[in-house]
Structure formats: structure tokens, C-alpha cells
Chain A
Amino acid sequence: MIALVDCNSFYASCEQVFRPDLQGKPVVVLSNNDGCIIAANKEAKALTHIPMFEPVFKIKEVLKANNVTCFSSNYTLYADMSQRVMDTLREFSPLVEEYSIDESFVDLSHYPSSQLENIAHQIKERIHKHTGIPVGVGTAKTKSLSKMANKFAKKYAENNGVLVIDSNQKRTAMLAKAKVKDIWGIGKKHKARVENTGAKSALDFTKLPLAWVRKEMTVVGERLWRELNDMPCHEMVSVVEPKKGIGTAKSFGYKLDDYGLIEEATSSYIAEVTDLLRQQQSAARYLEVFLQTNHHSNIDKQHYQKIVITLEIPTNSTAKLTKEALKGLKKIYKPGYRYKKVGVNLIGLVPDTDIQTNLFYKEEKIESPKLTKVIDELNSKYGKNKVKLATVGNREKQWALITEHRSNRFTTQWDELLTIGS
């Protein structure tokens, strides 16, 4: 049996752990640059008259009038709280698949079926007690069924956040209640195809002939059909494959036309992605840099350009990649525009152990893996970005994200701890 454990409105819940005064009150979390709402708790979702998908600046007054507390996203905090939840889950099972920042599959096959209901409740209670994060638990024989059980656990109050599908009777009852669109991973086209057969519920879908499903919905549909019919097709994944491309692109806090500042932002993003690159022991063959103005703006002139640079030999040196990125940036930068975003992507990743060197390639001093290693070691000892390239700059990061309402990094910074007192 597999449990899907899913944190309830995770980002908002993280904030509320440290703000007991917001218990039972509406809370939303904003995207980078505080542009729009990316998460809302139950109380905020209940305010259905507020158009939550609108840009924040348009609904700021309504939010205020309804006493909605807004937080800028604090991913440092969310990542640590997520780790706490995952670690607590590992007390129940040696096999936990971290599916996303707020969702995990937990293998429960080592528990006798008579205990599953009890274990599922224990998971929910222990996570809440130890970390302060409320979760829902759906348990079933396959991943697709446990995903659906999880939804039902939260949707129907009588389930109290826990639903264990441990009999055929419970399975069919759930499937009969679920619509075709509630099936995890079913797209618009397939939904229409299934509904054309006259099927209304997920249960009807599971009763379609397998041959039809295979023909009309390919192997993807077949797997879904099997999973919902209690036949596991998706195994637990516990080893994350190295990424095939790594990139980052963030909107600037303000529109920029100063080339120097854009250079600094680019260097800083390169430092971020090359760090990840080395962590997974890869090297990049190609580097892409792009620069764009705000295409939502109708007062600014528009410019978008990207460049792909082929590196002579794959590398993961921050210095080398920064040098190449800035060369590329120079080529695509046109003065006279107000830019909103710069991005870098490392593509064509290969394991750094099998880099094919070129007989005629002369390594530059700055590329030396020894230098990179020393810098990495210093930074891991003394703190992120303590040693950096001068191109990243030392002045105030005018291009940095606007995070006006960010909460403290309560669990990772000694000078940002939760404080109590009168």
C-alpha cells in the first residue's frame, strides 16, 4: 500500500506556524516580486468575491479590507519546513518519494493491512505535532488511487483528512463518486474521449474495455486504467535522476536599462546555476542567455533576444561560464530599452567525469577545478556567496526581487529567529 501525504495550503501553513495570531484567518503568499497570489489558505479561498488570480496591485485594497495577510514568498523557510515533513515521514517508512515540495508518496507495504487506518492517522497527527504543518493522507494500493483518496480525504469533512482504500468496496465507492476530470493525469482531450463513450464517473472509466483504452489513450491511458483497477504501474521512485538542463530567470524588482546592473544579475544567476550543476556532478556543453523587456507593458519599447553559446569543452566552472555569459549578454544587449528579465540556461549536461577534452584546448587559469573547489569549500563553510566573482558586484542589488512582506527565515538564520516577549 502507498500513502500520498499532501500538506494543506503548504506555503500559508508554514507562515502560520510562526504566527499563531493568524490562526483561522485568511493568509495568502505572493509570487516572486509580489506580482500575484500563488497560495491561499482555506480561509482566504473562502473569500470567493476576491479575484485571487488578478495582479496583486489591482486587488491590494480589497485584500486589506478583508483582513487578508499577505506574505512574500520565503522559499528558504518553505524548503526547510518541507524537509522536516519529509524527515518525519521517514520515521514511518524507509521508502519515501518526495514528489514535490509539499507532497510525498510513502510506501506502507511493511504494515499489516489491519493497521493501515491507524498508521495513516498517526502520520497525520505526528506531522502536525512535530512540524505544525497540517496534512491529508490518502492510502491505496496504487499511486493513482492514493492520489484520489488524498483528494477525497480533504474534500469530505467526514474523512477528517485521512482516507484508506483497503477494500474493493471502498475503491468502487470512491471511483463512483469521482468524475472523469478528477482522475489524476487525465488531460482535456482524453477526458472528452472518455466522456464520449458515455462514461461519467471514474468508475465508468475503469469499466471500459482495456483494448479501447489502449487504442484511444495510448500506454498512458492504459497505465491509468490499470492503476485505478488496483494494479500498480507506477513504482516508488527513490533516486532522483540528474537534471538534463538547469536554468534560472527572474524578473527584476524594477525595470533596468543600466548595463552594469544587468551584468551583475546575470553573474549572480550563473553562480546559482553552476552551484547546482556541480552539486549533481555535471558539466554543461551549451549556455543560453536571454534578455527581455516587459511584454505586458504598453508604454515600453519591446526587445527580446537570446543567444546560445557552445562551449569548447563542457565545463562547470563558475568563472568560465560567467565570462562566456557576459560575452553573450554583450551581444544581445541593446541600449535604450528598459529590461525586465534576464535568464540563463545550462543545457547539454554531461557527467563531469567523462568530459572529452580537446587536444588543442588550453585551459584558462580561471577554469581550474582546484580554484572552483576552494571557492565552493569556503562558501559552504562561511555562508552562501561569501566568496564570489567581482562581476556579481557588491552594491545594493537593485535588480533583486521585491519581497516587501517576507517573513523571517526562522529556521535557518540565527539572527532571524522567532522572538517572543510582550
Chain B
Amino acid sequence: MSLGKVNLVKKSKKSHRVARPNQTGFSSPATHYTEPRIDLNSELISNPSATFYVRVSDDSFSEYTIFKNDVLIIDKSLMPKHNQLALVTKEGAFQIERIGVADTKETFQLWGVITYIIKSTL
């Protein structure tokens, strides 16, 4: 089978090029040291198509230091490891579970692994 026209690879908007000097007087001594600014999307999210955000509506998960209005970043592509936090469902309801710690006999279905908790301090 011929490949025909292949989709172009999407380029990221990040520029890794050396910045062109734009000082009108002395050119910047930093010219060869510039780097793109930190982007939280690329730092915190390794698999965008499997990542979901979930907001916490009250303090019922305080035992995990997760409180009202926190936003959880959840990666469904991961397999949870021992002691990691996961969003699970029990009897059709969402719950948070620390994997492999409590010796609960309750069964639950994994929904996704919690990778980060975003809290506002304002």
C-alpha cells in the first residue's frame, strides 16, 4: 500500500532557537543562553489524550489532604503503583483510594491515577 500524502508532523510552538539580538545598543550577553519558558502542560502532562481534570466539591477526602475546590490531574493511561492515589469507582460512585494500603475487601474499578493536586492558596 502506498502511503499517499502523509500528515505533517505538528510542530510545537516552542522555539529552541537562539534569540535574535533585539537590543538596539549593546547586543544582549544572554543571546546564546535563552531557553523557552517553562510550560506546565508539558511538565505535568505526559499523555494528553488520557488526561482528565476533576474538581473536588467538599472536604470528604481530607484524609488524603485533598480539600474542597482542589483540582486533580488524572492520567488514565497509568497503572497505579503501591501507595499511589487513584480515582476509583465503587458501586457506581467516585472515590479516592490509596492503592495497596488499606486491607479493604471492597472491590473497586480503577478510573485513573492521580498525578497532581492543584490547590489555590488565595
Contact = CB atoms under 8 A, between A and B. Distances in A.
A414 B53 CA distance: 9
Contacts of A84: 49-50
Nearest to A126: B77
Interface stretch (A129-137, A242-250, A366-374): A129-137
A239 B7 contact: yes
B7 to A, nearest CB: 5
Interface stretch (A87-95, A147-155, A320-328): A87-95
A113 interface: no
Given A23-B92, A236-B1, A130 B49 contact: yes
Interface size range of chain A in the complex:
20 to 34
A130, A132, A417, A420: most-surrounded residue (chain B CB, <10 A):
A420
Interface in B1-30: 1-7
Nearest to B111: A20
Interface in B49-105: 49-50, 52-58, 60-61, 68, 71, 76-77, 87, 89, 92-96
Contact of B76 (A109, A130, A410): A130
B57 A421 contact: yes
B47 interface: yes
A131 B4 contact: no
B115 to A, nearest CB: 14
A130 B54 CA distance: 16
B52 A420 contact: no
Contact of B57 (A95, A131, A237, A420): A420
Nearest to B66: A420
A419 interface: yes
Contacts of A356: none
B109 interface: yes
A238 B55 contact: no
A232 interface: yes
Nearest to B92: A21
A94 B9 CA distance: 10
A418 interface: yes
Contacts of A420: 54-57, 61, 87, 94-96
Nearest to A23: B92
Interface size range of chain B in the complex:
20 to 34
Given A20-B89, A132-B76, A239-B5, A422 B60 contact: yes
Given A95-B6, A129-B76, A238-B6, A88 B50 contact: yes
B58 A238 contact: no
Interface string A332-353: 0000000000000000000000
Interface in A404-422: 410-411, 414, 417-422
A83 interface: yes
B49 A88 contact: yes
A235 interface: yes
B92 A87 contact: no
A107 interface: yes
B117 to A, nearest CB: 13
Given A20-B94, A419-B57, A421-B56, A131 B1 contact: no
A232 B1 contact: yes
A235 B1 CA distance: 7
A342 B95 CA distance: 46
B54 A417 contact: yes
Contacts of B5: 238-239
A83 B49 contact: yes
A355 B109 CA distance: 58
B77 A129 contact: yes
Given A20-B92, A95-B6, A419 B50 contact: no
Contacts of A418: 52-55, 94
A94 B57 contact: no
B70 to A, nearest CB: 10
A21 B90 CA distance: 9
Contacts of A411: 52-53
Interface in A383-422: 410-411, 414, 417-422
Contact of B3 (A20, A95, A422): A95
Contacts of B60: 421-422
Contacts of B49: 83-85, 87-88, 130-131
The 4 closest A-B pairs by CB, nearest first: A421-B57, A21-B92, A130-B50, A20-B89
18 contacts: A20-B94, A20-B109, A20-B111, A84-B49, A94-B7, A95-B3, A107-B1, A109-B1, A130-B50, A236-B4, A238-B4, A238-B5, A238-B6, A417-B54, A417-B55, A418-B55, A419-B54, A421-B60
Given A84-B49, A88-B49, A129-B77, 7 more contacts: A130-B50, A235-B1, A238-B4, A238-B5, A419-B56, A420-B61, A421-B58
